[in-house]
Amino acid sequence: MENRKLTVELNRQGFCVVGAGNHDTIDVEAATAEEEDRKEYFETPYSLLSKVSPGYCQAFGNSLASRLRTLSATMEAAAAANNQNQKQLNSQEAGE
């Protein structure tokens, strides 16, 4: 993750970065109630990674694009095979 060390808290609110720069430490400077309210919680580890890691976003986008290209090629091949089968059926019906 771009060589960053983070400590992430998981509680019923979700995932939250509680320490940055030092792994397994929590930044516990006198946090006011207002600062506590401003903590950003994420429902999934993926949404947290999307926020803190540009590399994760890039890798996710590349993976998604690759899978969509594969799906598109598969669908095109299936459509071509279907068209070929339909042509054969039509020519057989015309010959009867």
Q: Is the pLDDT of residue 68 over 70?
A: yes
Q: Is the pLDDT of residue 23 over 70?
A: no
Which residue bears the tokens 């060390």? 5
User: Containing domain of residue 32, as a range?
Assistant: 1-52
pLDDT value at residue 77: 92
Instruction: Supply 90's token pair.
Output: 């039509």
Of residues 86 and 10, more confidence is placed in 10
Average pLDDT, the chain: 84
The verdict on residue 78 lying in a domain is no
Cβ atoms of 41 and 13 within 8 Å: the answer is yes
The verdict on residue 88 lying in a domain is no
Residues 56-59: contacts with CB within 8 Å, 24+ apart? 56/1
Check: pTM over 0.95? Answer yes or no: no
The verdict on residue 73 lying in a domain is no
The verdict on residue 15 lying in a domain is yes
